[in-house]
Amino acid sequence: MVCLFLFTILVLLSEVLKSNNNVMKNYILSETTYGEVKDTHVDLAILPWGATEAHNFHLPYSTDTIESEYIAAKAARTATESGAKVMVLPSIPFGVNTGQKDIKFCMNINPSTQASLLNDLVTTLYAQGIRKLMILNGHGGNDFKPLLREIGSSFPGMILATANWFEAVEKDGFFEKQGEHADEMETSIMLSIAPELVRPLYEAGKGAARKFRVEALNQNWAWTERKWSEVTLDTGIGDPSLSSSSKGSRYLEAVIGKVAQLIIELCNVEQGDFYTARE
C-alpha cells in the first residue's frame, strides 16, 4: 500500500511539472512549437526590447535585454494564469545608442532602422490576425511613441502600445541611492535574476555623472542628447555600492505586478470600446 501511495504521488507530481512546463511554453514563443500555437488564439503579443551597451564595470552589456526579457516572461505568466491569451516574442537586443557610438561595443541602431524593423514585425502580426502589440522597453534611449504613431496609421484596428518597465514603479522606498544607468536599482535587479553575470561590486565605478551647464537641459522640459563618454568615466550614472539581491527582488515584484495588470487590461479591451464614457 505504501509503495502504491508513493507511486501515485510521483505520478501526480510529474503531471504538475508537465502542466507547469506547458504553461511556460504556451506563452514564450522561443520555447514553444508550431503544433502548440497554430490553433491558439492570442489577444496580445509582447515584444521585449533592450539594448547592447556598457553598464559600468560590473554589469554585462546585455543588462537591458536580460531585465526586459525576465520581466516580460514573469508578467506574462501572471497574466496567463488570470486567463489572458498572450505571446512573448523573442527580445530585440539592440537599441538607439547614438550618444555612445565612441564607447567600445555599444551597438547602435538608428531610430529609422528601429522603425523599419518594427514596421516589418507589425505587418507580420497583422497578417496573422493578431491585433494587439505591446513593446516592453528596457532602454532609456529607445523612444517608440513617434514610431508607433506613424506605423499605427497604416494598420486600422491595431492597438500598438509601449511601456517603460523602469518607470512603472517609483524607486523611492526601494533604493537608497538614486541613478539611471547601472545604478543601485539595475544592479540589484541583476543580482536578483542573474547574479552569475555581475562582477564584484568593488570593481564597479562610482557612477558619478556630469550635468549640463545649461540648466534647462537638466530638467524635463528641454532636451539634447548627451555624449556619454563626456558625462561619465565608467559609463554608469548612479552609485551601485549599496545594491543587493533582496532589494532587486522586492522592486521586481512590484514592477512585474504592475506590468501584468497592464497586460491583462490590454487583453480585455477592444478597439471599439477603448475609452470610458464622457464625463
Chain segment 130-178, per-residue pLDDT in tens: 999 999 999 999 999 999 999 999 999 999 999 999 999 999 999 999 9
Residue 58 C-alpha cell reads as 560590473
Chain segment 112-135, per-residue pLDDT in tens: 999 999 999 999 999 999 999 999
Question: Using CA atoms, how far apart are residues 198 and 190, in angstroms rounded to an integer?
Answer: 7
Question: Using CA atoms, how far apart are residues 115 and 220, in angstroms rounded to an integer?
Answer: 25
Any idea where the domains of the chain sit in the sequence?
39-271
Quote the distance between the C-alpha of residue 143 and its chain's center.
Answer: 14
CATH number of 39-271: 3.40.50.10310
Chain segment 34-62, per-residue pLDDT in tens: 999 999 999 999 999 999 999 999 999 99
Q: Are 182 and 59 in contact (CB under 8 A)?
A: yes
pLDDT at 2: 54
Q: Model pTM?
A: 0.90
Q: Which residues 6+ apart lie within 8 Å of 228 measured at CB?
A: 99, 100, 103, 106, 235
Q: Are 58 and 187 in contact (CB under 8 A)?
A: yes
- Residue 1 — very low, low, confident or very high, per pLDDT cuts 50/70/90? low
Chain segment 3-30, per-residue pLDDT in tens: 555 555 555 555 544 445 544 458 999 9
Average pLDDT of the residues in 95-115: 97
Our CA angle for 172, 173, 175, nearest 5°, is: 75
SS3 state of residue 108: strand
pLDDT at 24: 46
pLDDT at 278: 82
Chain segment 253-279, per-residue pLDDT in tens: 999 999 999 999 999 998 778 888 887
